[in-house]
Amino acid sequence: MPELPVIPRPHCLLLLLALLPAAVTAAGAPDFGHLASSPYVHCAFYRNYDIDPQTGDRLLVEGRSNSLTHYQRQRDGRVRTVDTRRAGAGNAMMVQGRYLHYIERSGAMFVVTTIYACLARDAQSGHCINYGAVNARHFDARVLREPDQVYEELQAQAEPGFCDHSFIHLREAAAVPSRR
């Protein structure tokens, strides 16, 4: 049997995603305020886990995702999205319940990113900087009325991943500087 490569721990994001969603459901969802108000949210999703050769833990390795998704909040409140699985941009709606959901409609299919937990906090501010997330593709229209319930029913079939936000306490690069 070939030897598995050793993956440096700093490049790994160890997640026990099979247990974490259930634990979050029992404990209550974290505050998604900073993520929901961020103009940019970036997510990476994986079809399979890597296995840590030393511990046997399941892990997601940064840079080895199967898809990337970017959400951009517009000034009028709309959310635009692009991802590596399709050409062009689309519209999404953001819905917050116990979890934070980005819901896209593609014909009769729904593409839903659900953010369910804080994985890492900034040491200085205490703000969450990395969130556990899943991405699901399904035809369950209840997601428009009951996204939390649909997530809880379908999370086992969703692709695991994580999301982060940018431009916290920074001026957006697109802002035009004032001229004197």
Dump pLDDT digits (tens) for 37-54: 888 999 988 887 778 888
pLDDT category at 71 given cuts 50, 70, 90 is: very high
Top-confidence residue, 24 or 137:
137
Top-confidence residue, 123 or 59:
123
3-state secondary structure of 94: strand
Mean pLDDT check: name the lowest of 3-17, 26-40, 46-60, 134-148: 3-17
Token readout for 56 is 């046997």
Query: What pLDDT does residue 19 have?
Result: 36
Which residues 6+ apart lie within 8 Å of 53 measured at CB?
4, 5, 6, 7
Q: Which residue has the tokens 């050769």?
A: 53
Sheet containing strand 58-61, edge to edge, reads: 12-14, 58-61, 50-51
Query: What pLDDT does residue 138 have?
Result: 95
Cα distance between residue 113 and residue 159, in whole Å:
9
Query: What pLDDT does residue 51 have?
Result: 81
Q: Find out whether 29 and 36 touch, Cβ atoms under 8 Å.
A: no
Q: What percent of the chain has pLDDT over 70?
A: 75
Q: pLDDT digits over 102-130, tens only? A: 999 988 999 999 999 998 888 888 888 88
- Does the pLDDT at position 145 exceed 50? yes
- Selection from 150, 166, 158, 133 nearest residue 15 by Cα: 133
pLDDT category at 76 given cuts 50, 70, 90 is: confident
3-state secondary structure of 144: helix
- Selection from 157, 132, 125 nearest residue 13 by Cα: 132
DSSP class of 146 = -
